[in-house]
Amino acid sequence: MEASVYVGCSGWFYWKWGGQFYPAQMPTGEWFRHYAKQFDTVEINASFYSWPTVANVKGWLRQPGDRNFIYTIKVCELITHIKRFERTKTLVKDFGAIADILGERMGCFLFQLPPSYTFTKVRLDRILSQLDPARRNVVEFRHASWWNETVYSAFRESGTIFCSCSGPRLPDDLVRTADEIYLRLHGPKRWYRHDYSDDELKIWADKIRASGARRAWIYFNNDYDGFAPKNALSMRRLLEKRLSHDQPPVAAAPGGKPPDA
């Protein structure tokens, strides 16, 4: 793998991280600064629960200061869970337009579907027809029926990134459908509460190295008890042994255009 790897957490503001990842006496207003000293990327989850405003995004843009820092934005549940990609093309474009404010700090658009959303060819075609190909689109499924070659082939053809997962009742395959890969680690047996061992992390690190991908995005969502930042730092150390991290932070999206185009 010749390009860069981004390792971070799915969110950064969790009360239980105080006194663990964050020093006990550190004010919460300084938490992000501390996080950004340790990591160069984060998934924004607040945008899933509430449609982000221009003020929200400008605030994210200012937070890292002059550091090289990249955001992945989790797309609002209005698109993925409420409308379930039913006539959402305009909403997808509107969401992308707000995220454009991040400019070079914008990484991926993460579309996460609910566990009840099982595979059908109609649903597959509907999802891909709603996405903006000019952007770096990542789709995460929570039902195992989506792990099949029909989906992989369609994703490869469209340049869409299939989100590989470590989660209960989900295949632990590292799937590559584009020149970049994306992995979310939730916990293999219990959602959000698993503390990954070094051996478990090494298995995933080996899969990442073997993927041949140009860039890897890796986020830990096991936020319970501060497991996520601890495991993320361990994973980064494993990968840094063999992966260089010296490419520009943002490259062209699969469709050939910059993600802020």
Nearest to residue 174, comparing CAs of 138, 209, 226? Answer: 209
More confident residue, 224 or 197: 197
The tens digit of pLDDT for each residue in 5-15 reads: 999 999 999 98
The tens digit of pLDDT for each residue in 175-204 reads: 999 999 999 999 878 787 888 999 999 999
- The residue whose two tokens read 């971070």 is 8
Distance CA 67, CA 59 (A): 15
The tens digit of pLDDT for each residue in 17-73 reads: 998 899 999 999 999 999 999 999 999 999 999 999 999 999 999 888 878 899 999
256 pLDDT band, cuts 50/70/90, is: very low
**Domain coordinates of the chain in residue numbers?**
5-240
Nearest to residue 231, comparing CAs of 206, 205, 213? Answer: 205
242 pLDDT band, cuts 50/70/90, is: low
Taking the model in full, what pTM does it have?
A: 0.89
Distance CA 191, CA 232 (A): 16
Burial zone of 27 (CB within 10 Å; 0-12 exposed, 13-18 middle, 19+ buried): exposed
7, β-bridge pairs: 218
CATH superfamily of 5-240: Protein of unknown function UPF0759 (3.20.20.410)
114 pLDDT band, cuts 50/70/90, is: very high
What percent of the chain is predicted at pLDDT more than 90? 79
Distance CA 233, CA 71 (A): 18
Q: Which H or E element spans position 166?
A: strand 161-166
Residues 172, 166 contacting (CB under 8 angstroms): yes
Q: What rounded mean pLDDT belongs to the chain?
A: 90
